[in-house]
Amino acid sequence: MTDTVATEANEIETAEQDRTETPLESLASICTVLAIGLFVMTFIFQNFEIPSASMVKTLLIGDHVLVDRISLAPPAKWAPFNFYRDIRRGDIIVFFKPGEPDLFLVKRTIGIPGDHIRLRNGVVYLNGVAQNEPYAGMPVSDDNPQHAFNAYRDDFPAVPPSPYDQVTASWAYELPTHIQDSDLVVPPGKVFAMGDNRTESLDGRFWGFVPRENIVGRPMFVYWSFETPAEQINKQSIGERLSFMGHILVHIFDETRWKRTFHLVK
């Protein structure tokens, strides 16, 4: 009796080992993996490439960052288990540019609703207190006119914008309504954001506040960084993109910034 039971068990085990997955089952497995991956990359994490120098030294052109889309998202009743917190001063955020809903930007939160903000010679004063920002680029006297003092940019909002300041028309019209005693006051439901590379950043000084609903998330770390020229952002044709992809394949080892791999963004 024992031998019979053992033989039957062996036959069942052999049959299970010989059983192969059908094409339909394989397709179902692949679709499940893709669905989970799509959900994660759409609602939980998302990858972004830094195309400009507006956040240097914090983020470099060619940094590829993983963005947390959960912690700064509005709380959802269907997912009460998700950790949520509101925007804090100093948070680096990814958001849709006001007025251009298809364009993602990354900047640092300078002020939240109710805050009073002004700049004097490039230094940020928050609620009357000068901020210590070692990461922020300041106007300097050198051979680059872009780094020289600019009255509108570096004493914001003391000087009204001119047609040459790259200020959007809507913000030039709206700006005076938010100034109290030479300070910019952040209204409810919005934040004021600026780039760390202050002399090379077209930020809230030029297009206004960021609505809370425009904020997508916050970058957590750099997962890959490749040396990318500043002018690459302007090369959008198919030929130019393919050429740069070829360049990456050839130089992926010698032009990857290996030291920035898993660099925390803060």
Question: Would you name the residues annotated as active-site residues?
Answer: 54, 107
Report residue 140 CA to chain centroid gap. 27
Peptide bond into 57 cis (omega under 30): yes
Query: In what side-by-side order are the strands of the sheet with 183-185?
Result: 129-130, 123-126, 116-120, 183-185, 179-180
Token duo for residue 70: 């959960």
Give the whole-angstrom CA distance, residue 151 versus residue 166: 13
Contact 145, 206 (CB under 8 A): no
Give the whole-angstrom CA distance, residue 177 versus residue 204: 15
Please tell me what DSSP assigns to residue 94: E
Please tell me what DSSP assigns to residue 209: P
Contact 124, 131 (CB under 8 A): yes
Please tell me what DSSP assigns to residue 14: H
- Show Cβ contacts of residue 28 under 8 Å, excluding neighbours closer than 6 positions: none
State the number of CA atoms in the 13 A half-sphere of 198 facing the CB: 24
